[in-house]
Each structure stands twice: as C-alpha cells, then as structure tokens.
Structure 1
C-alpha cells in the first residue's frame, strides 16, 4: 500500500513528465506512399500463413496496379493508420470483368500482425462496407482459405456474409492442399 505522501510525489512526477497519448487510429483512402507498407503487410501473410493463395511475395508494381484500378473505377481502397504507421488495409476489386458483374466486388482485408486481436479489423471492415454502399456496390464476395482463416470467416459472418460454397483442395500452400470458402453479402441501396 502506498502512503499519501508517496502517492502525491508520484502524481507530481507524472505531471512533470506526462505520457504522451498514442496517436488516434484513422481510416482514410489509401495514398501512393502507403503502398510499400501494404506490400509488407501482405507479404508477411504470404510467407507465414496459408490464408492467401499467393505463393511468392508480391512486388510494389502489383500494389501500384491495384491502386490505379481503384482510382480508375472509383472503388474503395482504405488504409488504417496510427500516426505514420500503417496498421492495415482493405479494398475491393471487380469480381469479374463482364458488364453483368459491374456492381459486384471481391473484398480483401489485412491487418499487420501487431494490430490483430484489438477490434481494429471490425472498424476497418465497417468503413469499407460503408464506402461500398456509397459507391453503389450491390454485392461483396469473399474468398477465404479453409485453413488458418477462422478469424476472417468470423469477421465476415459478424457483418452478415453468408457462406455460398466450399471449393476443396483448389490450391497448394506449403506443400499441402487447401480449399476456399465463398461468402457473399448483399448490400442495401443507400
């Protein structure tokens, strides 16, 4: 137990050396300067997990193309930041290249390893889906690995995604077969 004199001494020291608050977490449209951090976040998952079907780290050019496409088609591509640190990103891409699929997209959402498990994915996903509604998107498709992606499946189901099917053993990761679940969410008109 701390006596009154010691407690007041601690308070005076704390007032003299205040702890600066951590910068606020912000979600904004991605900028070109965010792309190297996005590349690093995604490449971590390629190297260390089976939740992505890419088997070799992606170069910055790939992310530049994604960025350019999002700009061209006015599709949401968001980044979550705290100060100058990129904590995660979320984007949608056209589901198919045919005109009938014009308002149907596939989503991707990734957080840096230290940002997981803190509820940040829900905040980022909420922002992404709201931007999709504003953009007039009518359906969002998720393709999620059937191994190691339990958190991603839970996140999508939390937001109302419904499982539409399972494709077993459609890919090989780290020498083992892996499948994917297809989930979808119909968005109401804004």
Structure 2
C-alpha cells in the first residue's frame, strides 16, 4: 500500500463515543441554587472569563459580586438552578436575570448557562435549559432573550435553536477581548 493511501483509523470525538463499561455513567440532579453553591458557580464562570469569548467579562467575578447577584435574583423570584453530581460537585448552572431595568421589561429576561469543563458535551446544557424554561414559565415570565457571542459559541447557538429560540438580530464589533473584536447574536423565545 502506498504511503499516501494509508489513513490512520479515525475515532469519534469523546462526546460522541459510547461510555466505556468501566466508566460510570454521567449522573446529576438539578435543584435551585443556594448561597453555599456560589464559590463553585464563581469558579465555573471565571473559567470562561479567562479562557473563552462566550462571556465578554474580562475580569474574574468576585464572590461578593455573585452574592449580590444571587440576592437580587432571589428577591425578584428569578430561576437560578444548579446541576450537581451524586458526590455533591456543582457541574453547571443556569439562571435568568432581568433583560433591562425599566419596569415595562419586567416579564422579559436574559438567560445564562455555564457548564464546568468536565460536564460539557454530555447533554447537561440541554437539561438545564429545559428546566430553566419551565421554571421561567412558572415564575410568570413571558420572553427569554439569549445574547450569544458570534465567535466560539456555536454549541450555544445550536442549543438555543433546538429549543425554539429565533434569531432576532446581530450586533457586530461590540466587544473587545483577547485582542480581537467580537459581536453578538441575539435570540428570543416566547413562553406564552
């Protein structure tokens, strides 16, 4: 066989492979976030601040800032969920926050979903978004907006499309991170 005819055997990426029999299944439970979860939530979020463009934050978020955000969302009755492993490790979180501060926007929220790196590609984002949508409906919310980076967030775009979010606009070159300009894709879902 000629060298150029030889192609090494290709393998599926890890997220498409069946788990090995000796590897335990990916298990988790979902619940409302509580103050004790905030240090873990902060670590998950700050990983993305330091390593990706899915958030436009450029400085790590402090625990104090997370406590303030948590108290604000709790006061408003906004859903804030965590996914937890059987051993009590926070694998990811999802929340909604007011879209704008003006009173007329009170039924419209923006969602955020972040997974720990080890939990990515296992269907957890889909489970969190499904639960977040249901909790948002139960809270009387009517519209969810997703603001997604236009670079490096293809999985998020696909996830939101899968749940019926529709693209409603784009903004180009509105963020600057890692020495490059970034834009956003805005998506919306009605909860009626």
Do the structures match in fold with TM over 0.5?
Answer: yes
Matching of residue 53 in structure 1 with residue 44 in structure 2: no
2:72 matched residue in structure 1: 69
| Alpha-carbon shift at residue 149 of structure 1 (Å) | 0.2
Q: CA deviation at 1:24?
A: 4.2
Select 2:84's aligned residue among 61, 81, 85: 81
Structure 2: tracts of 5 or more residues without a match: 1-21
Partner of 2:137: 133
C-alpha distance in structure 1 between counterparts of 2:158 and 2:69, whole Å: 26
SS of 2:132's partner is helix
Q: Greater helix percent: which structure?
A: 1
Gaps of 5+ in 1: 1-18
C-alpha separation in 1, matches of 2:98 and 2:26? 34
Corresponding position of 2:190: 186
Residue 65 of structure 1, CA deviation: 1.2
Q: Which runs of 4+ in 1 moved over 2 A?
A: 21-24
CA root-mean-square deviation: 1.5
Q: Are 1:170 and 2:174 matched, yes or no?
A: yes
Mapped to 2, the partners of 1:160 and 1:35 lie a distance apart of 30
Secondary structure of the 1:97 match is coil
Aligned length: 170
Normalising to structure 1: TM-score of the pair?
Answer: 0.86
Q: Deviations over 1:118-138 (max 9, x none)?
A: 011111111100000000100
Matched, 1:106 2:87: no
